[in-house]
């Protein structure tokens, strides 16, 4: 294996490149990224960047010297526009063509927008550093921010903005925020945390339109006709996988690049991070995971398999994520979506603390803790990785 091209210069692409070098790959590696910045970390965008605790420089994933040491053909501010898998070439927006022996697709996702709102001043999405800096500038005491979508990004921004003295309203179309992702109990618990801090969470609120005056947002009109006045609106309604450049490649794209259990999409082509929908044999299901840790781990796993194909191993992680809202840390292991039961094991408002175990068929598939010590979760992670049956899993974790 000689030339590796990695498209997407964020955590999953960088982790792939680093692991290739660490494991002995001496051939050329091209790392192509559409954003102009050197690889930076996204989780702080909705947390420390908005609150002003961190300067943009602190997001850098590596120093210039560390990047230099990787000896990459680093092409930033350039977009991949096409892929020919029979010729093994990637075309770039600047007219260049890169040949590869192995291609790693690490193009992540972008924020979904509300159609027709792209040009309205004061309507934001949050995916990039420039998005975060533009939003941060507007978060001044007394201003009114309406957040459309009470998922993790919306909820984290609500917490950060509230701390800055902004009047925040969080809108959720469904009956319980985050219910699809983490179940109703955890969704209710987190909603209560917002209410306790004085952030209004309106459920069953579907947006009819964003109201504007001379190109500046003035509010959000709901389906029932009510208008919520706003100086700014954050649209946080999920993401779209960046796969358009693969459209004529013949690769299978279904809400992400479809990959097998080795993260391979075709001979010599791999998907890593948020863009990859791969088959996770541990849960025997295809999944696309938008979590920071998974993105790095999948990059490392692909690099190992690329360099040692005879000993290649399926990528079968127990996915992990965290979220910070006010002083509550939420952490979860496993595959929480599509669960059959979410069992609340511990709940108290002192702290506050919540522990939920997730069952699918007869198996423990996930666990979530809010406000609890991270140590509690480690024992659970091992039990999920062991594919333990539900009853036995609950016994083992009680004993731990
Ligand atoms: C505000 C925010 C908060 C988050 N908080 C958390 C958290 O608390 N915990 C957690 O676990 N996860 C969190 N995440 C998710 C985490 O940041 C992602 O899982 C991680 O960034 C995924 O990395 P990635 O490399 O797969 O993709 P991305 O980070 O999306 O990077 C993909 C890169 O590819 C580039 N690209 C796209 N198309 C092309 C193209 N055609 N050519 C070249 N380059 C291209 C993009 O510009 C981008 O730079 C958060 C995300 C956001 C946005």
Residues 295 and 225: their CA atoms lie apart, in Å, by 41
Residues 102 and 267: their CA atoms lie apart, in Å, by 8
pLDDT higher than 80, residue 6: yes
- Over residues 243-268, mean pLDDT: 98
Average pLDDT, the chain: 95
Cα(329) to ligand 1 centroid in Å equals 21
Q: Provide the sign of the torsion angle of the four alpha carbons 333, 335, 337, 338, taken in this order.
A: negative
Q: Is 212 in the pocket of ligand 1 (CB under 6 A)?
A: no
Atom of ligand 1 nearest to the CA of 107: 34
Nearest to 278 by CA among 321, 247, 314: 314
Tens digit of each residue's pLDDT (9 = 90 or more) over 89-136:
999 999 999 999 999 999 999 999 999 999 999 999 999 999 999 999
Q: Is 321 in the pocket of ligand 1 (CB under 6 A)?
A: yes
What integer pLDDT is reported at residue 351 of this predicted model?
63
From residue 334, alpha-carbon distances to 322, 359, 391 in Å are 12, 11, 17
Atom of ligand 1 nearest to the CA of 275: 26
Q: Provide the sign of the torsion angle of the four alpha carbons 72, 76, 78, 79, taken in this order.
A: positive
Q: Is 364 exposed, middle or buried (0-12, 13-18, 19+ CB in 10 A)?
A: buried
Q: Is 92 in the pocket of ligand 1 (CB under 6 A)?
A: no
What integer pLDDT is reported at residue 352 of this predicted model?
61
Region of 95 (left: φ > 0; alpha: ψ -120 to 50; beta: rest) is left
Residues 360 and 287: their CA atoms lie apart, in Å, by 15
Tens digit of each residue's pLDDT (9 = 90 or more) over 168-206:
999 999 999 999 899 999 999 999 999 999 999 999 999
* The pair of three-digit structure tokens given for residue 37, joined into one six-digit string: 């910045």
Tens digit of each residue's pLDDT (9 = 90 or more) over 42-56:
999 999 999 999 999
Q: Answer for the pair 108, 242: CB distance below 8 angstroms, yes or no.
A: yes
Radius of gyration of the chain (CA): 22
Mutate to test the pocket of ligand 1, among 17, 43, 81, 253 (most ligand atoms within 8 A of CB): 43
Residue 376's pLDDT band (boundaries 50, 70, 90)?
confident
Residues 213 and 348: their CA atoms lie apart, in Å, by 46
* The pair of three-digit structure tokens given for residue 34, joined into one six-digit string: 């559409």
pLDDT higher than 60, residue 349: no
Q: Is 10 in the pocket of ligand 1 (CB under 6 A)?
A: yes
Phi, psi of 63 (to 5 degrees): -80, 160
Residue 395's pLDDT band (boundaries 50, 70, 90)?
confident
What integer pLDDT is reported at residue 32 of this predicted model?
98
Residues 162 and 94: their CA atoms lie apart, in Å, by 42
Tens digit of each residue's pLDDT (9 = 90 or more) over 205-246:
999 999 999 999 999 999 999 999 999 999 999 999 999 999
Phi, psi of 234 (to 5 degrees): -105, 125
Residues 400 and 384: their CA atoms lie apart, in Å, by 14
What integer pLDDT is reported at residue 211 of this predicted model?
98
∠ Cα 362 320 312 (to 5°): 85
pLDDT higher than 80, residue 161: yes
Region of 165 (left: φ > 0; alpha: ψ -120 to 50; beta: rest) is left
Helix (H) or strand (E) holding 304: helix 292-307
Atom of ligand 1 nearest to the CA of 244: 41
Edge-first strand listing for the sheet containing 328-334: 320-325, 328-334, 363-370, 353-360, 341-348
Atom of ligand 1 nearest to the CA of 320: 11
Residues 119 and 391: their CA atoms lie apart, in Å, by 54
Residue 296's pLDDT band (boundaries 50, 70, 90)?
very high
Delineate the domains of the chain, giving CATH numbers in brackets.
4-110+240-311 (3.50.50.60), 113-237 (3.50.50.60), 327-399 (3.30.390.30)
Residue 84's pLDDT band (boundaries 50, 70, 90)?
very high
In the three-class reduction of DSSP (H, G, I as helix; E, B as strand; rest coil), residue 166 is classed as coil
Q: Is 13 in the pocket of ligand 1 (CB under 6 A)?
A: yes
Residues 296 and 216: their CA atoms lie apart, in Å, by 39
Residue 399's pLDDT band (boundaries 50, 70, 90)?
low
Q: Is 205 in the pocket of ligand 1 (CB under 6 A)?
A: no
Residues 341 and 1: their CA atoms lie apart, in Å, by 46
Q: Report the nearest-CA residue for atom 3 of ligand 1.
A: 43
From residue 171, alpha-carbon distances to 212, 227, 350, 353, 392 in Å are 18, 12, 26, 24, 40
- Over residues 316-322, mean pLDDT: 97
What integer pLDDT is reported at residue 375 of this predicted model?
72
Q: Is 153 in the pocket of ligand 1 (CB under 6 A)?
A: yes
Q: Is 126 in the pocket of ligand 1 (CB under 6 A)?
A: yes
Burial 365-388 (b: 16+ CB within 10 A, else e): bbbbbbbbeeebbeebeebbeeeb
- Over residues 341-352, mean pLDDT: 76
């Amino acid at each position: 294996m000689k030339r590796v091209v990695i498209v997407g210069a964020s955590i999953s692409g960088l982790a792939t490149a680093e692991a290739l070098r660490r494991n002995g790959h001496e051939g050329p590696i091209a790392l192509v990224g559409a954003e102009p910045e050197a690889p930076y970390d996204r989780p702080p965008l909705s947390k420390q960047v908005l609150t002003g605790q961190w300067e943009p420089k602190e997001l850098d994933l590596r120093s210039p010297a560390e990047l230099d040491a990787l000896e990459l053909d680093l092409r930033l501010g350039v977009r991949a526009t096409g892929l020919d898998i029979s010729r093994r070439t990637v075309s770039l927006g600047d007219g260049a063509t890169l040949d590869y022996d192995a291609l790693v697709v690490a193009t992540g996702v972008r924020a979904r927008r509300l159609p027709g709102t792209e040009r309205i001043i004061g309507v934001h999405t949050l995916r990039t550093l420039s998005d975060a800096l533009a939003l941060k500038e507007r978060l001044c005491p007394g201003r009114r921010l309406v957040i459309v979508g009470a998922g993790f990004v919306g909820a984290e921004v609500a917490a950060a903005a509230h701390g800055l003295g902004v009047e925040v309203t969080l809108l959720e179309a469904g009956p319980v925020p985050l219910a699809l992702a983490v179940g109703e109990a955890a969704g209710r618990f987190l909603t209560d945390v917002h209410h306790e801090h004085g952030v209004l969470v309106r459920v069953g609120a579907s947006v009819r339109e964003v109201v504007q005056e001379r190109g500046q947002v003035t509010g959000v009109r709901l389906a029932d006709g009510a208008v919520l006045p706003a100086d700014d609106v954050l649209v946080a309604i999920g993401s779209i996988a960046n796969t358009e450049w693969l459209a004529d490649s013949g690769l299978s794209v279904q809400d992400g690049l479809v990959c097998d259990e080795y993260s391979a999409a075709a001979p010599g082509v791999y998907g890593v991070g948020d863009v990859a929908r791969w088959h996770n044999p541990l849960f025997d299901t295809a999944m696309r995971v938008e979590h920071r840790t998974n993105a790095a781990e999948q990059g490392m796993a692909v690099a190992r398999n690329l360099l040692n194909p005879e000993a290649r191993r399926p990528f079968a992680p127990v996915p992990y994520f965290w979220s910070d809202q006010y002083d509550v840390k939420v952490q979860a292991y496993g595959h929480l979506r599509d669960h059959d039961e979410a069992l609340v094991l511990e709940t108290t408002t002192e702290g506050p603390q919540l522990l939920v175990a997730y069952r699918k068929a007869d198996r423990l598939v996930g666990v979530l803790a809010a406000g609890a010590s991270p140590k509690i979760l480690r024992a659970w992670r091992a039990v999920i990785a062991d594919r333990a049956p539900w009853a036995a899993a609950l016994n083992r974790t009680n004993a731990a």
